[in-house]
């Protein structure tokens, strides 16, 4: 039997006869030859079907095949320097698996975003979407390898939770048997803070939910986030860890995902600059930058998406903005001992206008201080009982951060909207497919 | 400055002075020496504090320290063959970071499960729970490496979905803005079936939800599942892939997690037998086994947890039970061409009475056949429109499976109840902590 091989391995089979199982994504024909463009999920290749080798009926049938026909072809692999991938196949036999019932709805012409999103289950077959997901695959693996090699322990935090995390609004809730409401988690951080007392260095990496009505190109209602937490790490250790993670991930992606970045036309010179150390500026300096840029910004204001764009465009690599006013940040952040209006936190803004990809901070680790902050913020003490508990027995200084995967992928791939950085995006208008 | 090192790396620092940051989990004292048992998340070590080297007040203070005190010690590393890990530390300085506010609630005495679950945020510090999570960490990494190395593309499937998956009951729902109800996904399979047309071989790995009122030791309302789907794979290819995944994962865990398996007292000879090929028996043969065991079983009955235990105990490695009656399996499974009362599926049952860890099948790939099955099952056609769409353009035979991570970890670690195989378990009675 002739061997079934994947296109990505084709270079190992030059001058051999192999079988490819895939789909026809394009074709052109002369009177004597069909040029079939095939893909099989791992790559693309041109298959040459010469009229003289086949009976007339089959040759005519292939001429009429619609794009997206699934097919199994067998043929001899030939090195062909003029071909995009460097190889071609001379077809010896061809079998159509399924011919489309109708014309494929996604054509080469421009489609509106709504149409493409409605057909996301088909749109992901397009070369660009394929390349983005191949890069996402590399990015996620790089992140997991980074943490594993750095001896972090994976602690999968729960999605269903009675506790609240960052902000009481913007939560999806469900009826949970006889226990009342449960919420879809906005962060695994609180659970990681419990886990560091057992494991020292931990991370979680899973879907996260925000019932926000934000409609920007940086928001999804469901997105993936990796969060890390380390016992005995202070603010500076935390910032160093973030930097190392991003450099590792970008380097790995540049190394392993080059062909996919090329498909996207990504200017990778913009990623080659991503080296340590990243610039660090204080929140106060960031406000000054905004003022200089003519923005009506003053100390105490939050830094939104547009402002992040202005700041991040001033640097050739991610910039870390540290020590924000405590009033615009979460209750659990450690106060700056040198300025009690500030907290020891940082946001990392990706360059080229991409903005925030990471938010991190040193956490309050003293029982009484945290209790006071929970009360000041009118948070439900009962839900936070276990979170306070952590500070009763062997509390330690600790720090951590969260990184949004779709924002990271959007920056690395150079796409505009994060909805293309996740296989099946969820926005306030979209729960289908 | 003296170097902060982790206990797992201590062998590199013999005769050097190092700093350890961690927690005291036990101690004993003679009049002249304190023996402090320390842990730092990476391992355990004994630190020796000799009275003559310290001032009286400090020596007395340490004698009174409660367990779970967080502390930073500095001392010289000494090889000590009698010590459990092979090393000890002679303390030169000691700093307590936080002394517990009260006595630690979890003591060496037996605690009830409810008490322990209520204190899960502390219970995870215990040596047994620590070891289980370290093993889970290895298991998850092994699975992700397996798929990455086998060139599968990670396709994170959505949690929030309008579609339904396996069974219409047992779903958690939320109000989703103006779009009505959304559901928490029971499976990513349907999305993977869309993705194989783009990527060939895909997997997803995330939390999964079942609003089931099951109270067995094998059920959680939230659990992690890895699912794989491959274009052009038939039933037999699918079973082979499952087998390879399980063998790879068990071998990697045996190789990398030996110290943690030892802490649990796991009889690893029971895992050394996990080699290909796994035994395969038909559903009909499984029914015969149950009858022989005196069970009142007949063809057409579902095989529940107790029955799985009986079957799986007959084998020294996982057994694959294939071709179940179609009426007790999901609507999307391909009919057995040799017996149309059966579907081309398999469940993999782990040995030692653990039961089902994998369920897989070949899927229906023809449009009209699937449409008919959706109608027969009275499923909402509108929600399945995109799922049907996949079969209109370039459909291919395909197969896939899902593996429950907590069940896998429970079997590998040899624990009884899967609630200890996940950091913060969710059952119908528990959403806290």
Query: In residues, how long is chain A?
Result: 433
**What would the pLDDT profile of B127-186 be if each residue is shown by its tens digit?**
999 999 999 999 999 999 999 999 999 999 999 998 666 565 789 999 999 999 999 999
Distance CA A209, CA A159 (A): 9
Distance CA A322, CA B104 (A): 36
CA A368-A227-A323 angle, 5° bins? 55
Q: What's the gap in Å between the CA of A366 and the closest CA on chain B?
A: 9
Task: Please answer yes or no on whether A394 and B70 come within 8 Å at the CB atom.
Answer: yes
Cβ-nearest to B206 among A124, A206, A209: A206
* 3-class SS of residue A101: coil
In terms of C-beta distances under 8 Å and separation of at least 24 residues, what long-range contacts does B287-296 make, across chains too?
B289/B314
Residue to substitute from B156, B189, B404, interface A, most A β-carbons within 10 A: B156
Q: DSSP characters for B344-388?
A: SEEEEEETTTTEEEEEEEEBP--HHHHHHHHHHTT--TTTTHHHH
Q: Is the pLDDT of residue A163 over 80?
A: no
A-chain residues near B133 (CB < 8 A) = 153, 155, 198-199
Q: How far apart are the first and last CA of chain B?
A: 39
CB A40 within 8 A of CB B198: no
A-chain residues near B143 (CB < 8 A) = none
A-chain residues near B182 (CB < 8 A) = 431
Q: Is the pLDDT of residue B228 over 90?
A: yes
Query: How confident is the prediction for chain A on average, in pLDDT?
Result: 96
Task: Please answer yes or no on whether A156 and B182 come within 8 Å at the CB atom.
Answer: no
Q: What's the gap in Å between the CA of A181 and the closest CA on chain B?
A: 10
Inter-chain CB pairs, A–B, below 8 Å: 257
Nearest CA in chain B to A151: B42
CB B80 within 8 A of CB B87: yes
Please state whether the predicted TM-score (pTM) of the whole model is above 0.95.
yes
Distance CA A389, CA B71 (A): 18
Q: What's the gap in Å between the CA of A334 and the closest CA on chain B?
A: 16
CB B418 within 8 A of CB B410: yes
CA distances from B109 to A207, A296, B65, B112 (A): 38, 63, 20, 10
> Given its phi and psi angles, is residue A117 left (phi above 0), alpha (psi -120 to 50 degrees) or beta?
alpha
Q: What's the gap in Å between the CA of B164 and the closest CA on chain A?
A: 11
* DSSP state for residue B66 in the 8-state scheme: P
Task: Please answer yes or no on whether A394 and B100 come within 8 Å at the CB atom.
Answer: yes
Distance CA A186, CA A170 (A): 9
CB A406 within 8 A of CB A421: yes
Q: Is the pLDDT of residue A55 over 90?
A: yes
Query: Which stretches of A71-119 are DSSP H helices?
Result: 113-118
CA distances from B317 to B60, B247, B289, B356 (A): 55, 10, 17, 12
CB B80 within 8 A of CB B19: no
Distance CA A174, CA A171 (A): 10
Backbone angles phi, psi at B427, to 5 degrees: -125, 180
Q: What is the dihedral of CA A10, A15, A17, A19, to 10 degrees?
A: 20
Q: What's the gap in Å between the CA of A403 and the closest CA on chain B?
A: 16
Task: Please answer yes or no on whether A133 and B429 come within 8 Å at the CB atom.
Answer: no
**What would the pLDDT profile of B380-422 be if each residue is shown by its tens digit?**
888 899 999 999 999 999 999 999 999 999 999 999 999 999 9
- Which of these, B203, B210, B132, B199, lies nearest to B168 by C-alpha position? B210
CB A243 within 8 A of CB A276: yes
CA distances from A398 to A278, A338, B151 (A): 22, 18, 37
Q: Give the residue-averaged pLDDT of B83-94.
A: 95
Residue B226 neighbours by CB distance under 10 Å: 24
Tokens of B376: 């027969």
Task: Please answer yes or no on whether B392 and A102 come within 8 Å at the CB atom.
Answer: yes
Render the burial of A11-46: b for 16+ CB within 10 Å, e for the rest: eeeeeeebbbbbbbbebeeeeeebebbbbbbbbbbb
- Which of these, B296, B370, B201, B82, lies nearest to A137 by C-alpha position? B201
Q: Provide, rounded to the nearest whole percent, the portion of chain B with pLDDT above 90.
A: 93
Find all residues with CB under 8 Å of B80, minimum gap 6, and list them: B86, B87, B88
Distance CA A68, CA B289 (A): 47
For chain B, what percentages of helix, strand and coil (3-state, to nearest 5) are there? 35, 30, 40
Task: Please answer yes or no on whether A124 and B195 come within 8 Å at the CB atom.
Answer: yes
* DSSP state for residue A219 in the 8-state scheme: -
Task: Please answer yes or no on whether A199 and B130 come within 8 Å at the CB atom.
Answer: yes
CA distances from A301 to A286, A298, A321, A328, B11 (A): 11, 6, 14, 8, 51
Q: Give the residue-averaged pLDDT of B218-236.
A: 97
Position B167 scores a pLDDT of 61
Find all residues with CB under 8 Å of B94, minimum gap 6, and list them: B49, B54, B58, B62, B71, B72, B73, B74
**What would the pLDDT profile of A88-103 be if each residue is shown by its tens digit?**
999 999 999 999 999 9
Structural domains in chain A, sorted by start: 3-98 (2.40.50.140), 120-421 (3.30.930.10)
Task: Please answer yes or no on whether A194 and B394 come within 8 Å at the CB atom.
Answer: no
Tokens of A178: 């006889």
CB A217 within 8 A of CB A418: yes
A-chain residues near B101 (CB < 8 A) = 367, 392-393
Find all residues with CB under 8 Å of B74, minimum gap 6, and list them: B2, B17, B18, B19, B20, B91, B92, B93, B94
Residue recorded with tokens 């450099």 = A247
pLDDT bin (cut points 50, 70, 90) of residue B217 is confident
Q: What's the gap in Å between the CA of A278 and the closest CA on chain B?
A: 24
Distance CA B420, CA B405 (A): 12
Task: Please answer yes or no on whether B429 and A179 come within 8 Å at the CB atom.
Answer: yes
pLDDT bin (cut points 50, 70, 90) of residue A39 is very high
Q: Give the residue-averaged pLDDT of A147-158.
A: 98
Q: Is the pLDDT of residue B254 over 70?
A: yes
B-chain residues near A200 (CB < 8 A) = 6, 22, 40-42
Q: Is the pLDDT of residue A229 over 80?
A: yes
CB B188 within 8 A of CB B370: no
- Which of these, A80, A89, A74, lies nearest to A33 by C-alpha position? A89
Task: Please answer yes or no on whether A198 and B133 come within 8 Å at the CB atom.
Answer: yes
Q: What's the gap in Å between the CA of B381 and the closest CA on chain A?
A: 13
Q: DSSP characters for B242-257?
A: HHHHHHHHHHHHHHH-
Distance CA A103, CA A101 (A): 7
B-chain residues near A392 (CB < 8 A) = 100-102
Distance CA B45, CA B48 (A): 10
pLDDT bin (cut points 50, 70, 90) of residue B17 is very high
CA A419-A206-A317 angle, 5° bins? 60
**What would the pLDDT profile of B327-374 be if each residue is shown by its tens digit?**
999 999 999 999 999 999 999 999 999 999 999 999 999 999 999 999
Q: Is the pLDDT of residue B70 over 80?
A: yes
Position B163 scores a pLDDT of 66
């Amino acid at each position: 039997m002739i061997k079934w091989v994947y296109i990505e391995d084709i270079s190992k089979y030059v001058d051999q006869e192999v079988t490819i199982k895939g789909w026809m994504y394009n074709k052109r024909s002369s009177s004597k030859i069909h040029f079939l463009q095939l893909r099989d999920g791992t790559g693309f290749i041109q298959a040459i079907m010469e009229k003289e080798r086949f009976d007339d009926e089959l040759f005519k049938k292939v001429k009429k095949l619609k794009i997206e026909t699934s097919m199994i072809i067998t043929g001899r692999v030939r090195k062909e320097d003029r071909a995009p991938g460097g190889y071609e196949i001379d077809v010896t036999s061809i079998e159509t698996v399924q011919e489309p019932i109708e014309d494929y709805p996604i054509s080469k012409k421009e489609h509106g975003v709504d149409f493409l999103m409605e057909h996301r289950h088909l749109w992901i077959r397009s070369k660009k979407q394929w390349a983005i997901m191949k890069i996402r695959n590399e990015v996620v693996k790089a992140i997991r390898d980074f943490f594993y090699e750095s001896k972090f322990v994976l602690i999968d935090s729960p999605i269903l939770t009675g506790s609240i995390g960052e902000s009481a609004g913007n939560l999806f809730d469900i009826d949970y048997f006889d226990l009342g409401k449960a919420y879809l988690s906005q962060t695994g951080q609180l659970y990681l803070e419990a886990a560091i007392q057992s494991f020292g260095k931990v991370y979680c990496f899973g879907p996260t939910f925000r019932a926000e009505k934000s409609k920007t190109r940086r928001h999804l209602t469901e997105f993936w986030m990796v969060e890390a937490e380390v016992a005995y790490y202070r603010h500076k250790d935390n910032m160093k860890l973030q930097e190392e993670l991003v450099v590792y991930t970008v380097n790995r992606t540049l190394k392993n995902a080059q062909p996919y970045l090329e498909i996207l036309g990504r200017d990778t010179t913009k990623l080659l600059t991503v080296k340590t150390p990243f610039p660090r500026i204080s929140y106060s300096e960031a406000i000054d930058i905004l003022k200089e840029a003519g923005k009506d910004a003053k100390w105490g204001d939050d830094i939104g998406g547009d402002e992040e764009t202005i700041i991040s465009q001033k640097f050739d690599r991610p910039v870390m903005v540290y020590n924000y006013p405590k009033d615009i940040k979460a209750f659990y952040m450690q106060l700056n001992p040198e300025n009690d209006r500030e907290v020891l936190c940082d946001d990392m803004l990706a360059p080229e206008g991409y903005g925030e990809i990471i938010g991190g901070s040193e956490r309050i680790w003293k029982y009484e201080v945290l209790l006071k902050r929970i009360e000041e913020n009118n948070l439900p003490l009962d839900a936070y009982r276990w979170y306070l508990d952590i500070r009763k027995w062997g509390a330690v200084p600790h720090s951590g951060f969260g990184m949004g995967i779709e924002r990271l992928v959007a920056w690395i791939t150079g796409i505009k909207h994060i909805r293309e950085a996740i296989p099946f995006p969820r926005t306030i208008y979209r729960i289908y497919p």
